[in-house]
Structure 1
Amino acid sequence: MCRGRPPMPSFALDPEQRRWCARLRALARDRLRPLADAGTPGRINRPLTEALGELGLLERLFPEDGPVRALDLCLLRESLAMECTEAETALALQGLGAYPIVLSGGEKLYERWMPGIRAGRTVTAFALSEPDAGSDAAALSLRADRDGAGGWRLTGEKCWISNAPGADVTTVFARTTPGAGSRGVTAFLVPADRPGLGGEPLEMLSPHPIGRLVFDGVPVTAEDVLGVPDAGFRVAMRTLNLLRPSVGAFAVGMAQAALDASLAHAGSRTAFGGPLKDLQSVAHQLAEMATRTEAARLLVYAAASAYDEGAPGITRHSAMAKLLATETAQYVVDAAVQIHGARALRRGHLLEHLYREVRAPRIYEGATEVQRTIIAKELYR
């Protein structure tokens, strides 16, 4: 008899979920892909974000009756990623920047900001990482110094922030109690027009917008606090715990897109007297790509279902899902490039795009090494 930890719950997508995923892929292909193609890489694509609102996808991300179900979020992200990674990322960044408001903000902040966010008119960002505090987020040093008006002044820098510096409002994590580690951090909601707030875009390998934020005595008040002072790390973790399995879903969507492209290419490309798919080396590679993609998908769905059901071991399941899915996507996209050869490296090719896009998820929202550390600790908890 097995006496180990209980397994993650089994599941199967029902017919309506499968139809919904098909509709999402069609919307991404027919309505969102043209908007993404018309945008500027590395800059916020506002028409694309507004289209996410007009098509009702942001309403699915932010239901009126509470937080989105983790499995629904995974299906959203995977389906969009299969057809348009830019649309997927725009949706995910709205979620990352705004879920601190949903989960920890008061009624006033919710009523002020969420209608515009849900409509896609207000673009959000999530500013946790700093030049010297990435994976070790509790080591952040952006200062929140008390001023004489009952508020704080933010001084310091954030770096590698998606949607910065062009977001309309940003969830910012700052140190309010020096020397207190994760217990001395407060989450603030900072509008873009606050005096002293500046920044610049960063030219990165990934095609989505990433930038740097500079805080020169930026004023914030008690009304800008998300949650309570010195409990901002909890605000960050609540948001990341909800979104972490869906990072894996994004990765699975990219892996599936790369696999589909490879299957089509290997079936039509002739070499050595026949189609590539008849070469054992290529056939076995395709089989490995398909198996790893399906395994990652199953683990992501199971982790999301466990989160929705409040099952024990959520932290471990989520870390496993992100770890396996992002590492799998890197492998599958790289293998797809190898099968396609030089054409896949030409600027504008789907795989050239995926090759640049797939690298970042192994780093953000907890790098691969961090996920392994979390899993190992959970095994002994």
Structure 2
Amino acid sequence: MPAFSLDPSQTAWCAELRDLAAERLRPLADKGEPGHVNRPLVAELGRLGLLERLFTSGAFDLCLMRESLAHACTEAETALALQGLGAHPVHAHGTRAQRERWLPRVAEGSAVAAFALSEPGAGSDAAALELRAEGDAAGEGEGESPAAEPDGPARWRLTGEKCWISNAPEADFYTVFARTTPDAGARGVTAFLVPADRPGLTGTGLDMLSPHPIGSLSFDAVPVTADDVLGEPDRGFRVAMGTLNLFRPSVGAFAVGMAQAALDATLAHTAERDAFGGKLRDLQTVAHQVAEMALRTEAARLMVYAAATAYDEKAPDVPGRAAMAKLLATETAQYVVDSAVQLHGARALRHGHLLEHLYREVRAPRIYEGASEVQRGIIAKELYATMEAGQ
């Protein structure tokens, strides 16, 4: 599939998604409480079949979903994305028992997932994480609540903290990355599926700029067994990076959806607003600004589509393309939304205005799933690796 075009069925599906977001998801989002999981919204995403598509579609369709939903309802887009981010490691690396227990509930919207990688001292430098998975061959913890204990004797105890975790502390289960081999960098990390009711696991919500739930998690000797491992012991960093390579282009799609919403609002405003004896659109400086917003938005969209296509085709340059797509799209969305606010003037700063909402939403994607500076590092690393491989 060419990365620069959509076929008629894809175009129609995107239009349908935008309508669903505006008519069925937006009212539920408006009833939600900022900073908390909106379970009715998640359940509606399940009823519409959109959460199921997280496990049956490729990266390109994921990007189309995120871009289309973001145009009309960023809360619905984010709820869908967080379900995918938290559950993708289970889908891609989980055992049959893990998948059968959790994925149907995620798909129907009755279980909320979360991806727990970042820590207070290991955000962008994910290989430096310090949450410890300490051996517990003796099977400590007997006599704890049987409903919350793992099925077998604990092999490890998780001790430490996670921070900036979306959907925490209200998720039903967490994909948790912990250090099983000390001083081994990225090679000593294991991914675990940890239900939220495990003894010793607690959390606190954080009051953040973004309206979706973000919190910290505390692990006080939380028991996990070999049945909780996702993938292989000490190979969890590969699980994390594989998940991020899929979701980074789709973060770009989220950003493109916000940029397009800001651009559409600006076109309508500048065409109607009287100023200096005419309409705002008649001022060359305004017209040129709008043209620049459209140019950058379309360039970002094409890069996102190209990265998603590369992922679906299992191209060798996925990490670099994914980083480029996330970097360009999130930086572009920041520029476009900021420009839209400027052209709207003070009205855009009022609480409840579309652009006031987008202005709060657009900042975080430049940080999460790897800050812009991290993306530049990945791009440079891939470029030099490619050069050296060709020598």
| TM-score for both structures, normalised by structure 1 | 0.96
Give the alignment partner of residue 274 of structure 1, picking from 261, 278, 297. Answer: 278
Quote the offset at 1:110 in angstroms: 0.3
Name the CA distance, whole Å, in 2 between partners of 1:141 and 1:48: 34
Name the CA distance, whole Å, in 2 between partners of 1:233 and 1:93: 19
Question: In the alignment, is residue 295 of structure 1 matched against residue 284 of structure 2?
Answer: no
Question: In the alignment, is residue 128 of structure 1 matched against residue 117 of structure 2?
Answer: yes
Give the alignment partner of residue 200 of structure 1, picking from 201, 204, 207. Answer: 204
> Which residue is 1:309 aligned to?
313
> Which residue is 1:110 aligned to?
99
Question: In the alignment, is residue 24 of structure 1 matched against residue 17 of structure 2?
Answer: yes
> Which residue is 1:220 aligned to?
224
Name the CA distance, whole Å, in 2 between partners of 1:340 and 1:354: 13
Give the alignment partner of residue 258 of structure 2, picking from 216, 232, 254. Answer: 254
Count, aligned residues: 370
Name the CA distance, whole Å, in 2 between partners of 1:362 and 1:250: 12
Name the CA distance, whole Å, in 1 between partners of 2:383 and 2:240: 23
Opposite residue 57 of structure 1, the aligned amino acid is L
Preserved CA contact (<8 Å) 2:3 2:305: no
Name the CA distance, whole Å, in 2 between partners of 1:115 and 1:11: 34
Question: In the alignment, is residue 90 of structure 1 matched against residue 79 of structure 2?
Answer: yes
Name the CA distance, whole Å, in 1 between partners of 2:179 and 2:135: 11
Q: Give SS of 2:5's match.
A: coil
Q: Give SS of 2:212's match.
A: coil
Preserved CA contact (<8 Å) 1:103 1:238: no
Question: In the alignment, is residue 100 of structure 1 matched against residue 69 of structure 2?
Answer: no
> Which residue is 2:362 aligned to?
358
Question: In the alignment, is residue 78 of structure 1 matched against residue 82 of structure 2?
Answer: no
CA pair 20-9 structure 1, distance change in 2 beyond 3 A = closer
Question: In the alignment, is residue 55 of structure 1 matched against residue 48 of structure 2?
Answer: yes
Q: Give SS of 1:380's match.
A: helix
Question: In the alignment, is residue 235 of structure 1 matched against residue 228 of structure 2?
Answer: no
Question: In the alignment, is residue 169 of structure 1 matched against residue 173 of structure 2?
Answer: yes
> Which residue is 1:372 aligned to?
376
Quote the offset at 1:9 in angstroms: 5.8
Opposite residue 248 of structure 1, the aligned amino acid is G
Quote the offset at 1:177 in angstroms: 0.7
Opposite residue 12 of structure 1, the aligned amino acid is S
Identity %: 75
Instruction: Please list every run of at least 4 consecutive aligned residues from structure 1 whose deviation after the TM superposition is greater than 2 angstroms.
Output: 8-11
> Which residue is 1:4 aligned to?
none
Q: Deviations over 1:261-320 (max 9, x none)?
A: 011110111111111111111111000000000000011001111111122311111111
Preserved CA contact (<8 Å) 1:157 1:215: yes
Give the alignment partner of residue 38 of structure 1, picking from 25, 31, 35. Answer: 31
Opposite residue 110 of structure 1, the aligned amino acid is R
Q: CA RMSD in A?
A: 1.0
Quote the offset at 1:10 in angstroms: 4.3
Question: In the alignment, is residue 339 of structure 1 matched against residue 337 of structure 2?
Answer: no
Gaps of 5+ in 2: 140-153, 386-391
Name the CA distance, whole Å, in 2 between partners of 1:60 and 1:198: 31
Name the CA distance, whole Å, in 2 between partners of 1:82 and 1:212: 29
Q: Deviations over 1:126-171 (max 9, x none)?
A: 0000000000000000111111225111111000000000000000
> Which residue is 1:137 aligned to?
126
Q: Deviations over 1:165-216 (max 9, x none)?
A: 0000000001111100011111111111111111110000111110000111
Name the CA distance, whole Å, in 1 between partners of 2:267 and 2:62: 27
Gaps of 5+ in 1: 1-7
Preserved CA contact (<8 Å) 2:60 2:312: yes
Name the CA distance, whole Å, in 2 between partners of 1:111 and 1:379: 40
1:136-155 superposed matches below 5 A: 136-147=125-136, 148-149=138-139, 151-155=155-159
Name the CA distance, whole Å, in 1 between partners of 2:315 and 2:220: 44
Quote the offset at 1:11 in angstroms: 3.8
Opposite residue 51 of structure 1, the aligned amino acid is E
